[in-house]
Amino acid sequence: MLEARAIAFGYGGGPLLYEGFSLAVAPGERVQLAAPSGAGKTTLARILAGYERPRAGTVLVDGAPLPRRGRCPVQLVGQHPELTVDPRQTMAAVLAEAGAAPEEVERLRALLGIRDRWLTRYPRELSGGELQRFCIARALAASPRYLIADEVSTMLDAVTQAQIWSVLLAEARARDLGLVFVSHSPALAARIATRVVPLA
């Protein structure tokens, strides 16, 4: 179980975005975080994956806090893939970061349509959609128990969006992954979600 318990968060000394927010996600559940723009969905996604520390409350996986180093059981894929890759690394190195077996990397590459010729390039030499495929492959290669997907397909055309979500859905089902996602597309959300959680 992924649990956020009594989370309070505000940026700097600013007002709280939320207080006493709790959420529990079981393996296999696909939870849509729903709230108006600016309510703090992206922030909560970062808190759940351990990238932001709440002012109060805790994030637990099976009762234990997220590990401070090593592979995190909660992986985040965000809406700005260019911010999450090292610009000095080739894409082959980015993909290898998760430390997965070569066959698994190969399988994910094939599923996500990652071309051979992209591997020797640097992040700035790929389109946003191409880069996002790498970020999704890297997150899945880290064998997460929970995946947080924050508007992962916002920048993609309809065909690529459908392809990426069908991979995410198939992987989530096959691995009994818990999924927490943010999407501004009602049609997509209705297809993916097993539950909708309002943020405020």
Nearest CA to 35 among 188, 189, 184? 184
- Pairing relation of β-strands 2-9 and 18-25? antiparallel
Contacts of 16 (CB under 8 A, 6+ apart): 8, 9, 10, 55
Tell me the HSE value of 46 on the side-chain side, using a 13 A CA sphere: 15
The one among 16, 26, 35, 162 contacting ligand ATP by CB under 6 A: 35
Q: For the chain, report the end-to-end CA distance as a whole number of angstroms.
A: 22
Least CB distance from residue 17 to ligand ATP, whole Å?
Answer: 6
The one among 39, 66, 92, 162 contacting ligand ATP by CB under 6 A: 39
Instruction: Give 163 or 183: the residue with its C-beta nearer to ligand ATP.
Output: 183
Least CB distance from residue 32 to ligand ATP, whole Å?
Answer: 13
38 near ligand ATP (CB under 6 A): yes
37 near ligand ATP (CB under 6 A): yes
Binding region for ligand ATP (CB under 6 A): 11, 17, 35, 37-43
